[in-house]
Amino acid sequence: MSTAWHRRGLLLAAPTGQPWAQSHAALPVADLVDDRQADLYYSPRDAHGRAHIARDRIEVSDDGELILAAQGVEPVLSPGPPGAFDESGVTVSCIVHVNDASFLYYTGWVLGVSVPFYIYVGLAIRRPGDHVFVRASPAPILERSPADPYLTASPWVLCENGAWRMWYVSCVDWTLVDDKPRHRYHLRYAESNDGIDWSRDGRVSMDFADENEYAFSRPCVVHDGDRYRMWFSVRGDSYRLGYAESRDGMTWTRDDPSAGLEPSEGGWDAEMLAYPTILDSGVYRYLLYNGNGYGATGIGYASGVCG
């Protein structure tokens, strides 16, 4: 069973004012600094709808409340140059620290013609002694392949004893719905020796439960003792939270009711719950997530007890 959550409300309303952060606060990722502080990464949009990656600082109060302590004035990562795989936007996915280097995995966006967009997994790295993230490559680290012929996106990465493991979004196909192309994507698995070059064979981690489901969001995977726990969101009419467990990170048992949170009766998260991520700090486990409008109404959170 998963955590019993206590809904705490909004942590960050959608930002306004900065030229690169005019709306939205999508795909929260909380990176623990110490037991009382964490860096909050998320993706706001500029006036042209292009996503950037922001970083704020949050603190944990004595009673377990998360507080926004400081907001960044410059993006951590911005869209790439014209013609690049990420020219139309960059959305944060996860961050991994290994040997004093920080690996920031993200999704790069470019607008399409026959379909609305193409998206691929990118990577930016902050090396020891550096203050900024630099793209590991001007190209995606998960390009299209026979295993993933349409797109790759939204990875969650763990590095365990030198073995890198990734759970990511892959598109099955595009279908016409009401004469408009609609993606269908689920979750797949990949492995690496260095976090940059990945091996994948199309192994599915999480598939559609029925014909109404057609899109999974970025997963969040936590290794808790003898099991892996995965939180995600999946949509038919709108995004709802999902949950699964695994003994090895390969074969998963889905148990969505154990996600433990449903849309509220009214307000910012009444229509949609999306992009969940986990933060453990002291005795508390936090679930950060987006509500209505894919982050248009900001980032909220719920809390539970670790263990």
Adjacent-strand bridge partners of 243: 231
So what's the pLDDT on residue 2?
63
CA–CA–CA angle 76, 78, 79 (5° rounding): 155
Q: Are 286 and 28 in contact (CB under 8 A)?
A: no
Share of the chain above pLDDT 70, in %: 99
Q: Which two tokens stand for residue 212?
A: 């109404």
So what's the pLDDT on residue 285?
95
Is pLDDT at 307 greater than 70 in this prediction?
no
Picking from 59, 90, 55, the residue whose alpha carbon sits closest to that of residue 73 is: 55
CA–CA distance, 172 with 207 (Å, rounded to integer): 10
Q: Is 120 within a domain?
A: yes
Burial (CB count within 10 angstroms: exposed 0-12, middle 13-18, buried 19+), residue 40: buried
Q: Which two tokens stand for residue 135?
A: 């793209």
b/e sequence 200-238, b meaning 16+ C-beta within 10 Å: beeeebbebeeeebbbbbbbbbeeeeeebbbbbbbbeee
For residue 255, the domain's CATH number is: 2.115.10.20
CA–CA–CA angle 54, 127, 279 (5° rounding): 45
What residues make up the domain containing 16? 6-305
Q: Is 1 within a domain?
A: no
Is pLDDT at 1 greater than 70 in this prediction?
no
Q: Is 221 within a domain?
A: yes
Average pLDDT estimate for 272-296: 95
Q: Is 235 within a domain?
A: yes
Average pLDDT estimate for 20-35: 95
Please state, rounded to an integer, the average pLDDT across all residues of the chain: 95
- Cα–Cα distance list, 46 to 79, 120, 304 (Å): 11, 20, 34
- Cα–Cα distance list, 268 to 81, 239, 259 (Å): 34, 14, 19
What are the pLDDT digits (tens) for 65-111? Answer: 999 999 999 999 999 999 999 999 999 999 999 999 999 999 999 99
So what's the pLDDT on residue 213?
97
Picking from 155, 219, 157, 215, the residue whose alpha carbon sits closest to that of residue 181 is: 215
| Total domains in the fold of the chain | 1
So what's the pLDDT on residue 44?
98
So what's the pLDDT on residue 16?
80
Put simply, whether the predicted model's pTM sits higher than 0.95 gets the answer yes
